[in-house]
Amino acid sequence: MAAVREALVYRNQDTSDRPPPAVYEHGVTGLILARYGKAWREQRRFSLSTLRNFGLGKKSLEQWVTEEASCLCAAFADQAGETPFSPRDLLNKAVSNVIASLTFGFRFEYNDPRIVKLLDMMEDMLKEESGLVRQVSVEAASVLQQVVEAVPVLLRIPGLAAKIFPGLKAFMALIDELITEQKMTRDPTQPPRHLIDAFLDEVKEAKGNPESSFNDENLRLVVTDLFSAGMVTTSTTLAWALLLMILHPDVQRRVQQEIDEVIGKVRRPEMGDQALMPFTVAVVHEVQRFADIIPLGLPHMTSRDIEVQGFYVPKGTTLITNLSSVLKDETIWEKPFCFHPEHFLDAQGRFVKQEAFIPFSAGRRACLGEPLARMELFLFFTSLLQHFSFSVPAGQPRPSDHGVFAFLVTPPPYQLCAVPR
């Protein structure tokens, strides 16, 4: 833990750069993978301030999330009873709609072909990122990516990048369509409706300034970042949460008892309820710790020669931050490889913050969407457990809690039953 914290926090000014993989020059860089510098700082400031302006930390955004949680519960109710189903697609759609509300100012109905198409393309894109392209020869596609990474000049061959990353190109094209719709309906005399409007205002203000990072290309990258990072990580964590509830029905019952005592069975959950729900908050934190969905974080790179824990690290060195070594540290956690909500509770049952809890990474490159993700995880999780009891379908084997590693560590495919309470 000490080495990771020293590198990411105490040395953050020297370790906040990203290595420049050649393939990303032809794909999505955005804020997440962008090099550390003026443009990154400008775009991060804009994203943080815009998220706050559109309700992050305020009742307005909380209401969006609780409304979406109600829609998600209604969709679960359509599946409810003894019929097994996978919650994955519904969770993806619900979390995507929170991002859509922020970026486009509207939500998709769950049967809208556009959200189905968007999520299908995103899945293809993420599989490409993890070297699992849907082609006749997966192995050949993966090798081809490695070759162009080693010899990036090959990407200058016309059409090669599109062949290696077809899902990425299709996803970006759909994002472009949605952005164009917003441009056509934008009334510059009115306040911004959403993030895209706010970005377009910055583009207009920066016109003629060659040093500004506000342009159409960065707009599409920021929007893509929000969908690809903000949606996938949160929905994957929620999928883990439901899996762990069916594997640990005793924990599920304790969460539901706390929900019944604090919120009841009718009123919608609110962020203010967290202060009175230490066990539920501990469970949400333990889901994130145990699931450990980004075990190696994202790569960093040193911008000058430094020392970390007495080791010399030269400028330009790529750093792989082993977040899993902190989240599963046997000297910190009582049962590091088990799902154990008591990791976040003291002897009196009060919630306890843990310094080693860093699923969002740390330092300057920590996830800017952390406050939004925390809000979504609590409100979606409590809403679902307020309305349903989840269980392993009768006759099906008990699913494993060992994750599947691709771009993220996802839960193994599973089904559940959602019985109305």
Number of H helices, E strands in the chain: 17, 8
- With 80 as the cut, is the pLDDT of residue 365 above it? no
**Model pTM?**
0.87
Which pair of structure tokens corresponds to residue 196?
């895209």
- With 50 as the cut, is the pLDDT of residue 28 above it? no
The string of pLDDT tens digits covering residues 85-120 is 999 999 999 999 998 988 888 899 999 998 998 888
Domain boundaries, the chain: 1-420
Burial of 294 (0-12, 13-18, 19+ CB in 10 A): buried
Instruction: List C-alpha distances in Å: 298 to 295, 301, 408.
Output: 9, 10, 11
Q: Residue range 55-83: average pLDDT?
A: 85
Q: By C-alpha distance, which of 180, 171, 73 is closest to 119? A: 171
367 is in an annotated binding site: yes
In the prediction, which pLDDT does 298 show? 79
Q: 192: which DSSP letter? A: -
Q: By C-alpha distance, which of 261, 263, 299, 285 is closest to 382? A: 263
In the prediction, which pLDDT does 17 show? 82
Q: Which CATH number does 1-420 carry?
A: 1.10.630.10
More confidently predicted of 61 and 156 = 61
In the prediction, which pLDDT does 33 show? 60
More confidently predicted of 57 and 414 = 414
Q: Which residue bears the tokens 């080791």? A: 311
* Cβ atoms of 197 and 149 closer than 8 Å: no
The string of pLDDT tens digits covering residues 261-280 is 999 999 999 999 999 999 99
Q: Residue range 187-207: average pLDDT?
A: 88
Compute the C-alpha angle 267/268/269, nearest 5°: 115
Q: Residue range 226-239: average pLDDT?
A: 87
Question: How high does pLDDT run on average in the chain?
Answer: 84
